[in-house]
Amino acid sequence: MAASVWPTPHWPEGVPHTISDYDKPLFSVLDDAAAQYPNLIYTIFNDATRTFAQVKETADRIANFLHARGIAKGDRVAIFLPNLPHYPEIYFGILKAGAIGVTCNPLYTAAELNYQLKDAGVQALFCMDHPQFYPTTVEAIRDTDVTTVVVCSVKSYLPWLKGFLGGLLGKIPKAASHEPGHLFFDNVVAGAKPEPPEIDVNPAEDLALIIYTGGTTGVPKGACLTHSNFMHNLKAGVVTLRLVYEPGMPPENLRAGGYHCYLGVLPFYHIFGMTVAMLSACALGGRLICVPDPRAGDPPFTEVLKIVQKHRPTLMPAVPTIFVAFTNHALIDQFDLTSLMGCFSGGAPLPPEVCKRFEETTGSIIFEGYGLSETAPVATVNPTNPETRKIGSIGFPLPSTDVKILDVEAGTSELPRGEDGEVAISGPQVMKGYWNRPAETEEVFREIEGRRYFLTGDVGHVDEEGYLVITDRKKDMILVGGFNVYPREVEDILFTHPKVELVAVVGMPDQKSGEVVKAFIKVIQGQTCTEEEIKSFCQESLAGYKRPKLIEFRDEIPTSNVGKVLRRVLRDEEMAKRA
């Protein structure tokens, strides 16, 4: 069923409400790019480049290799790698073999990786030749179905001189020893033919990825995403995202054929980095800068600023903490970041003050979107035209996507405009369900008016102009004396304080009011701040029950590998102290 016209007078001109023709195999994105732009650069890593034709040939060889190893349609193959240029070649190779990709956080412990490999029934795995990552792999594959391990070295795609000198000086990461029977990436590629097997893909039904989510709120679950889930997201992005290329000119769709360069600071194992950086760059015929560790350098993030100045990326998908890191970097004035035209923010709410500071510093524009691993990931996006963008909102649903605001208790009744409720999403990008978890799948879906809606766990509303606004995570809501307090609202106010770099707000038990608000604050380097300053500042902008009663200054605030602030970790630490 097609999505209805979204009720707003601000729907971007020229953007369709529905799209079609996205039921295609995901690997067709690479095949099309290699046919149209064979000699254009796709990946950049340490100054070494790979063209679309080269990436396709390697992907075809990997598919041939996997088929020869007995990997059949529907089998699961894991990628346990940071952002290396091997990543798109391996992922597309897995799909061309008819298999399903399983992406794994390269910072997992052996126990965490073992759980994921067992749960997904993984049979083959690609890992990094590294003194930490490889031993983790060896331990993690015990008592699993993994029979094929391919070890990848960064040396494969370094410029010749860097690779030679790095090997000579021992600077290239390498495990101390390797297990018998484990294969090496270069040998695998060289020994296979660039001839993928013939497979029949049903894009709407066949899985392209199992991505694990929910690890901070319980046992991780594998979200099952189809080829069509991704293809819809990519096509919707092409028709929705627009930039102003010349002052005074109207916004245009993103230009294809090598015009744009994506800065790959988000990990490709994460759905945001995979779709909005790695796959989107391919779909657009653009370049992709592979950044394994954006925090590298002294102070942190210095190396990525050097990369921006050298390789001149135009687009950067990122989470709010990365925008904060750029803006507050002690050496920011020493780098030219003017190549950045558009930045896509997601993964966590974007505080308006963070958006304002970053745009003033770089001259770029930030487009905030919203989605989850279960939606491949984009479900809504703020208009990319500065005149209709509404900072603080997540804009409108993507074409062919519908959003409803449902009652928080049961998720069955639609609420009036302006009223907060649980955000529910229906569209071609919504997952099939959770891997081998029918009960959990049933719990998060509702059928309304003939459409299947996914309950996101986020609370939000539609404002008077039709813009969607996320208030906060349902599970993070704080109840103070019977009043609802949403951490994001308090955090957005604290971010406007000139001395605050990063902030996280949680609820703590209180005998009198049930819960009180506690703020964890990281102060900008070189500044000093007191509790009295913060409390006085909050008196001007927040009702009494919303003001932080407890304030703790920290040198660091915990974030995930993607950069999300981990409120739950802070709350658990505080509860442990109290216990």
Rounded Cα–Cα distance for residues 66 and 77 (Å) = 9
pLDDT of residue 217: 45
The pLDDT value recorded for residue 1 is 47
pLDDT tens-digit series, residues 485-535? 888 889 999 999 999 999 999 999 887 778 899 999 999 999 999 999 999
Rounding to the nearest 10 degrees, give the CA dihedral for residues 184, 186, 187, 189: 120
Token pair recorded at residue 20: 């079609």
367: β partners: 344
CB pairs under 8 A, 24+ apart, for 391-394? 391/352, 391/355, 391/356, 392/352, 392/469, 392/492, 393/368, 393/463, 393/467, 393/468, 393/469, 394/368, 394/369, 394/370, 394/460, 394/467, 394/468, 394/469, 394/470
Whole-prediction pTM value?
0.88
Whether residue 82 contacts residue 136, with contact meaning beta carbons closer than 8 Å, is answered with no
CA angle 464, 466, 470 (to 5 degrees): 90
Structure tokens of 70?
């007995």
* Three-class SS state of 509: strand
Measured CA to CA, the distance from residue 518 to residue 550 in angstroms comes to: 5
CA distance 134 to 177: 9
The verdict on whether omega for the bond into residue 299 sits within 30 degrees of 0, i.e. cis, is yes
Scored b (16 or more CB within 10 A) or e, 307-345 reads bbeeebbbbbbbbbbbbbbbbbbeebeebebebbbbbbb
Pairing verdict, β 402-406 and 396-397: unpaired
Output the pLDDT for position 163: 57
Phi, psi of 269 (to 5 degrees): -70, -20
Q: Of 81, 222, 429, 137, give the one whose Cα is nearest residue 91.
A: 81
Q: Token pair for residue 119?
A: 């749960």
439 burial level (CB within 10 Å; 0-12, 13-18, 19+): exposed
As a whole number of angstroms, the distance between CA 304 and CA 297 comes to 8
pLDDT digits over 328-386, tens only? 999 999 999 999 999 999 988 888 899 999 999 999 999 999 999 999 999 999 998 88
Those residues whose C-beta lies under 8 Å from the C-beta of residue 48, and which sit 6 or more positions away, are 85, 157, 158, 159, 162
Residues 6 or more apart in contact with residue 198 via CB below 8 angstroms: none
Instruction: Specify the pairing of strand 287-290 against strand 421-426.
Output: unpaired
What the chain holds in terms of domains, given with CATH numbers, is: 51-213 (3.40.50.980), 241-397 (3.40.50.12780), 401-473 (2.30.38.10), 477-578 (3.30.300.30)
Cβ count within 10 A of residue 418: 11
Angle, helices 487-495/352-362, rounded to nearest 10 degrees: 40
- Beta strands, E only, 4-144: 41-45, 48-51, 76-80, 100-103, 122-128
Residue carrying structure tokens 């050298």 = 310
Reading the chain (579 residues) residue by residue, the pLDDT tens digits are: 455 799 999 999 889 999 999 999 999 999 999 999 999 999 999 999 999 999 999 999 999 999 999 999 999 999 999 999 999 999 999 999 999 999 999 988 999 899 999 999 999 999 999 999 999 999 999 999 999 999 999 999 987 656 555 554 557 889 999 999 999 999 999 999 999 999 999 999 999 999 998 643 457 899 999 999 999 999 999 999 999 898 888 889 999 999 999 999 999 999 999 999 999 999 999 999 999 999 999 999 999 999 999 999 999 999 888 999 999 999 999 999 999 999 999 988 888 899 999 999 999 999 999 999 999 999 999 998 888 899 989 999 999 999 999 998 889 999 999 999 999 999 999 999 999 999 999 999 999 999 999 999 999 999 999 999 998 887 888 888 767 788 888 999 999 999 999 999 999 988 777 889 999 999 999 999 999 999 999 998 888 889 999 999 999 999 987 888 889 899 889 888 887
Starting from the edge strand earliest in sequence, which strands make up the sheet with 550-553, in order?
Answer: 500-510, 514-523, 550-553
pLDDT of the residue at 556: 93
Closest-CA residue to 261 (of 243, 244, 282, 247): 282
